[in-house]
Amino acid sequence: MKHSILLVVPRPEKKDGWVRQQWESLPSTFAKLANKYTTLEVIGEHVLMIQLNATLEPLVQILSEIGELDYRYAIFDEEIQWLGGLNKP
């Protein structure tokens, strides 16, 4: 089984309409889902890290919330090793 998925929902090209409203509401939707599922981590307003444990329920829930929005994802076989950055006291 794979370890995790990094999911990114890019800004839609349409300037208005239902799709744009749905995209703008994603940060609050992602925050609610992250509170419900401990396997989700909000990385940015439109970016989620999904740990794939025994259930795919969080992934299914997220994809249903995304609806017609375009998304990109990367699948990781092993635990991610974050590199770079400065340690600030």
- With left for phi above 0 and alpha for psi between -120 and 50, is residue 85 left, alpha or beta? left
- Look at residue 81 and tell me if it is in a domain: no
Tokens of 30: 């992602």
Q: What is the pLDDT of residues 8-47, one digit of tens each?
A: 999 988 777 888 888 999 999 999 999 999 999 999 999 9
Q: Cβ–Cβ contacts within 10 Å for residue 56, how many?
A: 13
Query: Percent of the chain at pLDDT above 90?
Result: 42
- Look at residue 28 and tell me if it is in a domain: yes
- Look at residue 29 and tell me if it is in a domain: yes
Into how many domains does the chain fold?
1
The CATH number of the domain where 52 resides is what? 3.30.70
Q: What is the pLDDT of residues 69-84, one digit of tens each?
A: 999 999 888 777 766 7
Range of the domain at 38: 4-76
